[in-house]
């Protein structure tokens, strides 16, 4: 089973010569250079957020709790929030002086 896909691309002659020059200088294949170019492009264009150590720990903790079944559904959350809102709205008897 192949682990790569083969692609054909077209480059302007000047760009092809430039790539050939870099290949020789860096002792790399065209494929290596193009993979590196794509990696750079995607890293700059579509940056992936990397969580801090504290955030990563919180994510792991949350995932473990989820696996243990410690969660509420969105419907449960809405119900709890509605109940809290209704309780806060109840009229309180006026104080008489």
Domain boundaries, the chain: 13-45, 53-89
pLDDT at 92: 67
Kindly tell me if the per-residue pLDDT of 21 is higher than 70. Answer: yes
The rounded distance, in Å, linking the Cα atoms of 41 and 55 is 27
Q: Are the C-beta atoms of 61 and 68 separated by less than 8 Å?
A: no
Tens-place pLDDT, residues 55-93: 999 999 999 999 999 999 999 999 999 998 888 776 666
The rounded distance, in Å, linking the Cα atoms of 6 and 20 is 19
pLDDT at 68: 96
pTM of the model: 0.48
All residues at 6 or more sequence positions from 9 whose CB lies less than 8 Å from its CB, including other chains: 34
Kindly tell me if the per-residue pLDDT of 28 is higher than 90. Answer: yes
What number is the average pLDDT over the span 46-53? 90
């Amino acid at each position: 089973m192949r682990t790569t896909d083969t692609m054909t691309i077209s480059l302007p002659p000047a760009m092809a010569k430039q790539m050939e020059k870099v290949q020789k200088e860096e002792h790399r294949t065209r494929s290596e250079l193009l993979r590196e170019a794509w990696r750079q492009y995607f890293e700059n264009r579509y940056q992936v957020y990397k969580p801090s150590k504290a955030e990563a720990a919180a994510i792991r903790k949350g995932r473990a709790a989820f696996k243990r079944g410690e969660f509420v559904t969105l419907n449960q959350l809405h119900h709890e929030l509605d109940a809290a809102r209704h309780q806060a709205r109840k009229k309180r008897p006026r104080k008489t002086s």
